[in-house]
Amino acid sequence: MDKKSLLSVHIAVLLFGTSGLFVKLIPMSALLITLGRALFSALSLYLFVHFRHYSLRLYRIQDYFWNLFAGLILTIHWFFFIMSIQVSTVAIGTITFATYPLFVVFLEPYVFKEKFQYKNLLSVLMIAIGIAFLIPSFQLTNAMTLGIIYGLISSFHYAILSIINRHLAASYDSVVVTLYEQAVAACVMTIVISIINPPLGQGAFKDFLYLMIYGIIFTALAHSLYIHGLKNVKAQTASIISVLEPVYSIFLAILFLHERLAYQEMIGTVMIFLAVMVGTMQNKAKEDET
């Protein structure tokens, strides 16, 4: 396995780990944060592609469709991830998002016509129990419960995105793939916001500065590094590394936002971490055998 590709994934996951912190620091609606993140990311990537003379032409017509579809999936993933953290905590948003490797485990065999491994059902059971520990009340009016639901929706869509990116990264440069996806996300959010017309608020200069940094460094650069790593690292292997993302997020939230995990949340978090690690390691062993 290529060490540079592994390093790219590790750095990307570290940058991704700051997402929750930025969501809490920027006092804007989820719609506006999603738009700003996508817009600043797409603009910075376009400048990079322009000055490096990358070709934006795709080899196959269907790949334009796949990039469009990936951009739509990315938009949904981002919006619900941001919503999850806004209505609950950084910990809840990132822990529930961390369940996406198990979705990958179920989706990859279907997409790539591989045999499903029934031993993964144990990991699914552990994750279900872990999420049950996280839920304080089975009522949709509870903010934490809503945060978990939004986080799981985000997780599922990110699993789909990872598989699509694995397909696209085999043929195109990661920067080009990321640019297409971010541009689609920016266009989708522009249309949505023009229809819904949410209040813009009185955003301070530092808020827009945070949004720029979030879009350029912790989105454009992070996604490019991650997709670049997928050229030589399978989605399931990258999923193992991605388990570190909520660890970084929770640590930063404790350090800068003074968030704390309740005892019950700690139990659920540990169970989800163990389930994700067990499930992805099992499939990694299978991957190494083939």
Q: How many CA atoms lie within 13 A of 174 on its CB side?
A: 19
pLDDT of residue 44: 93
The SS3 of residue 39 is helix
Cα separation, 37 vs 220, whole angstroms: 9
**89 backbone dihedrals φ, ψ, rounded to 5°:** -140, 165
pLDDT of residue 266: 81
DSSP state of 254: I
Cα separation, 269 vs 263, whole angstroms: 10
CA-based nearest residue to 177, from 66, 101, 82: 66
What are the DSSP calls for 88-146, one per residue?
S-HHHHHHHHTTHHHHHHHHHHHHTT----TTHHHHHHHHHHHHHHH-S-S-TTSHHHH
CA-based nearest residue to 136, from 246, 250, 265: 265
Cα separation, 260 vs 251, whole angstroms: 10
pLDDT of residue 275: 75
pLDDT of residue 239: 67
In the chain, what's the furthest Cα-to-Cα distance? 56
Helices (H), the chain: 3-16, 19-25, 30-51, 61-87, 90-97, 100-111, 120-134, 143-169, 174-196, 205-215, 222-229, 235-242, 244-252, 263-289
Please give the mean pLDDT across all residues of the chain.
83
Per-residue confidence band for 80, with pLDDT thresholds at 50, 70 and 90: very high
pLDDT surpasses 90 at 154: yes
DSSP state of 172: S
- Render pLDDT for 199-241 as a digit per residue (tens, 0 to 9): 766 667 888 899 999 999 999 888 788 877 877 777 667 766 7
Give the angle 244-172-217 at the CA atoms, nearest 5°.
Answer: 45
Cα separation, 276 vs 281, whole angstroms: 8
Cα separation, 262 vs 278, whole angstroms: 24
Q: Minimum mean pLDDT among 20-24, 195-199, 212-216, 274-278: which range?
A: 274-278
- Render pLDDT for 108-138 as a digit per residue (tens, 0 to 9): 767 666 666 666 677 777 777 787 777 766 6
For a pLDDT cut of 70, what percent of the chain falls above it? 84
- 5/158: higher pLDDT: 158
pLDDT of residue 224: 82
pLDDT of residue 167: 81
pLDDT of residue 173: 84
pLDDT surpasses 70 at 151: yes
pLDDT surpasses 70 at 17: yes
Cα separation, 253 vs 192, whole angstroms: 30
Mean pLDDT of 148-158: 93
Q: Do residues 265 and 133 make contact, with C-beta atoms less than 8 angstroms apart?
A: yes
Length of the chain: 290
**163 backbone dihedrals φ, ψ, rounded to 5°:** -70, -40
Q: Minimum mean pLDDT among 1-15, 16-30, 49-63, 114-128: which range?
A: 114-128
Q: Which residues contact 190 (CB under 8 A, 6 or more apart)?
A: 35, 39
pLDDT surpasses 90 at 187: yes
Please state, as a whole number, how many other Cβ atoms lie within 10 Å of the Cβ of residue 248: 19
Q: Minimum mean pLDDT among 71-75, 175-179, 185-189, 199-203: which range?
A: 199-203
pLDDT of residue 272: 78
pLDDT surpasses 60 at 37: yes
- The residue type at 235: A
Cα separation, 35 vs 185, whole angstroms: 7
pLDDT surpasses 80 at 23: yes
Report the range out of 10-14, 182-186, 244-248, 267-271 with the highest average pLDDT.
Answer: 182-186
